[in-house]
Amino acid sequence: MTTAAPEAPAPTLDFVFHPRSIAIAGVSAKEGMAFGGSGFVSSLQEIGFPGPIFLIHPTAPAIRGIKCYPSLLDIPDDVDYVISSVNARHVPQLLEDCIARNVKVLHLFTAGFTETGDIERAKMEQAVVARAREAGIRLIGPNCMGLYVPESRLAMMNGQIPEPGPVGMVSQSGMNAGEFVRYALPRGLRFSKVISFGNGADLKAADFFDYLADDPGTEIIAAYLEGIQDGPRLSQAIRRAGAVKPLAILKSGRTEAGSRAANSHTASLAGSLQVFDGLCRQAGAIRVESLEALIDVTVAFRFVKRLAGPNIVVVGGGGGASVLAADDLAAAGLSVPPLLPETQAELARVTHEAGTSIRNPIDTTSLWEEKGFASTLMPAATAPNIDAVLYHTGFGGGMSRRGDVRSRLRSQAEELAQVQAKSGKPVVIAIRPSSDAEGFDHTQEFEDLCWRNDLAVFPGIKQAGDALGRLIQWQRMHNL
Amino acid sequence: MTTAAPEAPAPTLDFVFHPRSIAIAGVSAKEGMAFGGSGFVSSLQEIGFPGPIFLIHPTAPAIRGIKCYPSLLDIPDDVDYVISSVNARHVPQLLEDCIARNVKVLHLFTAGFTETGDIERAKMEQAVVARAREAGIRLIGPNCMGLYVPESRLAMMNGQIPEPGPVGMVSQSGMNAGEFVRYALPRGLRFSKVISFGNGADLKAADFFDYLADDPGTEIIAAYLEGIQDGPRLSQAIRRAGAVKPLAILKSGRTEAGSRAANSHTASLAGSLQVFDGLCRQAGAIRVESLEALIDVTVAFRFVKRLAGPNIVVVGGGGGASVLAADDLAAAGLSVPPLLPETQAELARVTHEAGTSIRNPIDTTSLWEEKGFASTLMPAATAPNIDAVLYHTGFGGGMSRRGDVRSRLRSQAEELAQVQAKSGKPVVIAIRPSSDAEGFDHTQEFEDLCWRNDLAVFPGIKQAGDALGRLIQWQRMHNL
């Protein structure tokens, strides 16, 4: 015991996200493990962590070409960051080694602490935290996947790319952090920091909200929380983050069954949903009820940014889809107003059958004709009683076999982007999920083309409507 | 004018679904059209309609290898069923030709009638109906895609397979009928009759509900309705169908915007949602609010059939997913009760770390070990306080690269089916959507293996929970 560390967080946690070297304890010598210690080695190699990675293994000389050491004490170089995948009972010794080697951060992937419900294991967790604090070492976890930080080339799972972006994410669950990233990347979201913090024994949600609120690389914050640790501090951190950046939170444990599951998972006390809901409203944060909705709101924050009003023009093929679209948008608090006579007259000039499908929703065959696409969309977008365009489409079922699909997708995405730029109004894309492999490929390609053209993409009309409705709700809370 | 046809429906509409020959009017001579008249030719050829198909075209000698005739009157053989893709103004003459040739059914794909809002066109629709009725010809449509009847090898779109099954579907929208079939096929739903009836000028929803209620090939009925035509008769038909077969209805036009869109689409008057909701409750029918939910409920009717109670054990990897699962199921009116001490003791014997992840939800590493899969599922399924098992999984993100995925999927599906058979309790599968092409393939393959093993498959935990909750609601309405 040298100096007593303060209970309060360090003024900045920046060092946590920028380690120069990493050691991993508890890597299996067996091939083909994608999870645990070996999973971290594989993820860090894949994303291209630029510093040295050291492995700790009692007997193996090397794993995946990386030299192993029997103990942290045997590593000849400085180690900033240690990932623990050892059994919980070995963690106290690993911590002592970390202290001896001046390690700054210990990420405990290791589970088997308070979340087991076992009193002895809860005491062990408390002892580890106390010892780390007095030694000035910060802990991430236990029972978590740790960090994905593109700018530092840190990854918690495979498939996490080095390209950074403006979204910061805080998640009590490693799986939900991983799923968020996995589903968000094809939608064009890129990340500053993604943090899975599990039990939050030392560093807690509040620390990460505070950090992301100050982090210049983070413009939007998304969070998955299971429990309320240190309520007053968490409230303060959420209010602070919500005041300076768009913030969306998925809070689980909203039912008694979910609350019990949260306790089993990360030893979380879920608390009252009403209280949490009230906190979000005060903080100007959006609360959602699914991981999918969390991604959708983040896409709206990132690509739509602002809606001047709730009036949407719906454009796309299919009468049944149009009717359901109008219902879904209205249910999300948006409006699908009839277009004015002058707008309808303009649309009638480009459509064969000047009928009712140009009132709003718009569903005319002119969309599928050469040059008809933009000349149908443009009058709709520039209509005086319209604030945004929702274009819906889908691939598969043989429809995409017509003509050169690739070039059609490219020109459509470009024309949609031009409509957005020229009209000055958001153009939002809804793509129905595909039912066949060819359609899946086209969906992914169009999704990619759209976000690269700065268009918000959603996996369906209802999802787009819900996200736009929440964006308006957020604007109202912030008087925007 | 020969004899006056009765206003009441014929005692059976069976002849409508079993034509021996078809003529299509309004087929484009241009290649590559996947929609309209040529689309019907292509769909009927693909599904293998066994009778002759005649094409009506003013000048072309043949299209797609099928001989063309200038008029219906020139066709040398009997024609049971005519599909009209001609412009609305040519429909009266086509109808006269149908009368002259003793055609039984005229399917008007042709749009441009009452749904345009134009009084002259509404009058034309009424005149066509009156003339058809007095001649004893039944009309499907106008403004619809018509029929998909596997046993008769009739199809309205490409990709509709000849294998028949127990689901009957009635849809006011052709697109929604097509999308229902397209998304339902990979989930294992097969069809007796699918009917897109558009404006319902002659044959209406009530006629089709009556028919499907009596049809021995139909065990489950799903419907998409936009409007209420002849309210008392429709109410009676829904009550009659709902009394004898599981019935689920998606009713659009539930908002003012949706109601206006429904009127533009199929000239429908949506009516009050409250009234319709009350009707469904009286009829013992399930009302849903999306096409996806309509498919999910139909899957529950088809594969789960009956739940003894609301108590679900949730099994699958991922703590975060488990917590959200518990929330979603509880919100759907189901229960995720803690397993009894004896069940937990049994599970503890097969898991390494006997912790909290065997309480329910179950999330243990034993699921991924050889022989661990069934020995984890079986105690959970046979637990005395459990009525059904929900197993959740997902593919992609590199996870599926481990080992021989194909054989693992096959053995998992078989073991899940054995658990269902041995325990006598439904085993329900939730597969998260994939984010990459390889995962999409594995998802489709596992989906296929599951339903062929008589397991209900859903695209997510929430969707599975909502469908099971509705199944219980349906059972309660019928005192089952």
pLDDT digits (tens, 9 = 90+) for A383-399: 999 999 999 999 986 55
Q: What angle do CA A251, A155, A230 make, to 5 degrees?
A: 35
Q: How many angstroms away from the CA of B113 is the closest CA of chain A?
A: 10
**A-B Cβ pairs (cutoff 8 Å, strict):** 230
Phi-psi region of A371 (alpha: psi -120 to 50; beta: other; left: phi over 0): left
Average pLDDT over residues A259-266: 88
Tell me the pLDDT tens digit for each residue of B314-350: 999 888 999 999 999 999 999 999 999 999 999 988 8
Q: Is the domain of A196 the same as that of A295?
A: yes
Question: Could you report the per-residue pLDDT of B120-134, keeping only the tens digit for each?
Answer: 999 999 999 999 999
Give A-chain residues touching B402 at CB under 8 angstroms. 32, 34
Q: How far is A363 from chain B (nearest CA, A)?
A: 9
Higher-confidence residue of B368 and A26: namely A26
Distance from the B4 Cα atom to the nearest Cα atom in chain A, whole angstroms:
34
Q: What is the pLDDT of residue B265?
A: 87
| pLDDT of res. A34 | 63
In chain B, what residues touch A158 (CB-CB under 8 Å)? Answer: 397-398
Which of A257, A321, A335 lies closest to B175 in CB terms? Answer: A321
Instruction: Find the helix or strand (DSSP H, E) in which A63 lies.
Output: strand A62-63
In angstroms, what separates the C-alpha of B388 from chain A's closest C-alpha? 16
Run of H or E including A239: helix A231-244
The verdict on A117 and A184 lying in the same domain is: no
Q: With an 8 Å Cβ cutoff, are A265 and B176 in contact?
A: no
Nearest CA in chain A to B358: A264
- Taking the CA of residue A439 and the nearest CA in chain B, the distance in Å comes to 10
- Each of the 480 residues of chain B gets a pLDDT tens digit; together they read 344 444 444 448 999 999 999 999 998 877 555 668 889 999 999 999 999 999 999 999 998 889 999 999 999 999 999 999 999 999 999 999 999 999 999 999 999 999 888 899 999 999 999 999 999 999 999 999 999 999 999 999 999 999 999 999 999 999 999 999 999 999 999 999 999 999 999 999 999 999 999 999 999 999 999 989 889 999 999 999 999 999 999 999 988 889 988 888 888 887 888 999 999 999 999 999 999 999 999 999 999 999 999 999 999 988 899 999 999 999 999 999 999 999 999 998 888 665 558 899 998 877 877 788 999 999 999 999 999 999 999 998 655 455 678 888 999 999 999 999 999 999 999 999 998 999 999 999 999 999 999 999 999 999 999 999 999 999 999 998
- Domain end, chosen from A123, A140, A157, is at A140
Residue type at position B391:
Y
Q: Give the CATH number, domain containing residue B60.
A: 3.40.50.720
> Per the domain annotation, does A7 fall within a domain?
no
**Which residues of chain B are within 8 Å of residue A328 when distances are taken between CB atoms?**
290
**Nearest chain B alpha carbon to A46:** B398
Count: domains in chain B:
3
Looking up tokens 């623990």 gives: A84
Chain B residues in contact with A397 (beta carbon < 8 A): 157-159, 178, 182
Same domain, A181 and A254: yes
Give the domain CATH number at B190.
Answer: 3.40.50.261
Question: Are residues B103 and B246 part of one domain?
Answer: no
Q: Which of B31, B327, B447 to mutate to test the interface with A (most CBs of A within 10 A)?
A: B327
The CA distance from B351 to the nearest CA of chain A, in Å, is 13
* Residue in chain B lying closest to A174 (CA): B320
Contacts of A335 in chain B (CB under 8 A): 257
Residue B159 sits in the same domain as residue B81: no
Contact A351, A373 (CB under 8 A): no
d(C-alpha A462, C-alpha A470), whole Å: 12
Indicate whether B151 and B295 sit together in one domain: yes
**Option in B157, B264, B319 nearest A175 (CB):** B319
Q: Smallest Cα–Cα separation from A317: which of A401, A392, A399, A377?
A: A392
Element (H, E) at A469: helix A461-477
pLDDT, tens only, A206-236: 999 999 999 999 999 999 999 898 899 999 9
CB contact under 8 A, B355 and A320: no
Instruction: With CB atoms and an 8 Å threshold, state whether A335 touches B257.
Output: yes
Nearest to B323 among A262, A324, A336 (CB): A262
Which amino acid is it at B46? E
Choose the mutation target among A323, A336, A364, A385 for the interface with B, i.e. most B CBs under 10 Å: A323
Phi/psi at B165 (nearest 5 deg)?
A: -165, -175
**Would you state the pLDDT for residue B31?**
59
- Helix (H) / strand (E) containing A100: helix A91-100
A161-182 pLDDT, tens digit each:
999 999 999 999 999 999 999 9
Domain that holds residue B69: 14-140
Kindly state whether residue B9 falls inside one of the protein's structural domains: no
Closest-CA residue of A relative to B118 is A355
CB contact under 8 A, B186 and A336: no
Q: Which residue has the tokens 């008057």?
A: B269
**Where does the pLDDT of residue A264 fall: very low under 50, low under 70, confident under 90, or very high at 90 and above?**
confident
Match 């020995």 to its residue by tokens.
B375
Residue where one domain finishes, among candidates B282, B304, B326: B304
Judge: B258–A330 Cβ closer than 8 Å, yes or no.
yes
Q: At what angle do helices B319-331 and B461-477 cross, to 10 degrees?
A: 20
Q: What is the pLDDT of residue A32?
A: 58
ipTM of the complex: 0.92
Structure confidence by residue, pLDDT tens digits, A375-384:
999 999 999 9
pLDDT computed for residue A33 by the predictor: 56
Residue A30 in any domain: the answer is yes
Q: What is the 3-state secondary structure of chain B?
A: CCCCCCCCCCCCCHHHHCCCCEEEECCCCCCCCCCHHHHHHHHHHHHCCCCCEEEECCCCCEECCEEEECCHHHCCCCCCEEEECCCHHHHHHHHHHHHHCCCCEEEECCCCCHHHCCHHHHHHHHHHHHHHHHHCCEEECCCCCEEEEHHHCECCCCCCCCCEEEEEEEECCHHHHHHHHHHHHHHCCCEEEEEECCCCCCCCHHHHHHHHHHCCCCCEEEEEECCCCCHHHHHHHHHHHHHHCCEEEEECCCCHHHHHHHHHHHCCCCCCHHHHHHHHHHHCCEEECCHHHHHHHHHHHHHHCCCCCCEEEEEECCHHHHHHHHHHHHHCCCECCCCCHHHHHHHHHHCCCCCHHHCCCECCHHHHCCCHHHHHHHHHHHCCCCCEEEEEEECCCCHHHCCCHHHHHHHHHHHHHHHHHHHCCCEEEEEECCCCHHHHHHHHHHHHHHHHCCCEEECCHHHHHHHHHHHHHHHHHCCC
The domain boundary, picked from B285, B304, B323, lies at: B304
Cβ atoms within 10 Å of A100's Cβ, excluding its own: 12
Give residue A179's pLDDT. Answer: 95
Distance CA A183, CA A167 (A): 14
Distance from CA of B435 to the nearest CA of A (A): 6
Would B365 be classed as within a structural domain?
Answer: yes
Is A6's pLDDT higher than 80? no
pTM for the predicted model, two decimal places? 0.94
Residue A158 confidence class, pLDDT cut points 50, 70, 90: very high
User: Which residues in B lie closer than 8 A to residue A157 (C-beta atoms)?
Assistant: 397-398
Q: How far is CA A36 from CA A93, B317, B411, in A?
A: 19, 14, 25
Q: Do B320 and A224 touch (CB under 8 A)?
A: yes
Same domain, yes or no: B286 and B332: no
Percent of chain A with pLDDT strictly greater than 90: 79
Q: Is residue A3 part of a domain?
A: no
Please check whether residues A202 and A128 belong to one and the same domain. no
**Domain-embedded: residue B1:** no
In a domain, A9, yes or no: no
Q: Which of A109, A116, A225, A324 to mutate to test the interface with B (most CBs of B within 10 A)?
A: A324
Q: CA A432, CA A429: separation in Å to the nearest integer? A: 10
* Facing residue for B462 by CB, picked from A263, A290, A459: A290
Nearest chain A residue (CA) to B186: A435
Rounding to the nearest 10 degrees, give the CA dihedral for residues B132, B138, B144, B145. Answer: -140
Name the helix (H) or strand (E) containing A41. Answer: helix A36-47
| Distance in angstroms (rounded) separating the CA atoms of residues B474 and B480 | 8
**Counting beta carbons within 10 angstroms of the beta carbon of residue A195, is it exposed (0 to 12), middle (13 to 18) or buried (19 or more)?**
buried
pLDDT reported for residue A86 = 95
Among candidates B269, B255, B307, B263, which has minimal Cα distance to B470?
B307
B155 and B292 inside one domain: yes
Choosing among A160, A172, A327, which should be mutated to test the B contact, i.e. which has the most B CBs within 10 A?
Answer: A327
Q: What is the residue whose two structure tokens read 């695209």?
A: B459
- Whether residues B178 and B260 share a domain: the answer is yes
Strand bridging mode A191-196 / A146-148: antiparallel
Asked whether residue A403 is domain-assigned, the answer is: yes
Q: Are residues A293 and A372 in the same domain?
A: no
Number of residues in chain A:
480
Cα distance between residue A463 and residue A325, in whole Å: 10
Q: For residues B74 and B181, state if they share a domain.
A: no
End-to-end CA distance of chain A: 52
What's the confidence (pLDDT) of residue A3? 44
Query: A284: which 2 tokens?
Result: 């100007």
Q: How far is B45 from chain A (nearest CA, A)?
A: 15
Yes or no, beta carbons of A157 and B398 under 8 Å apart: yes
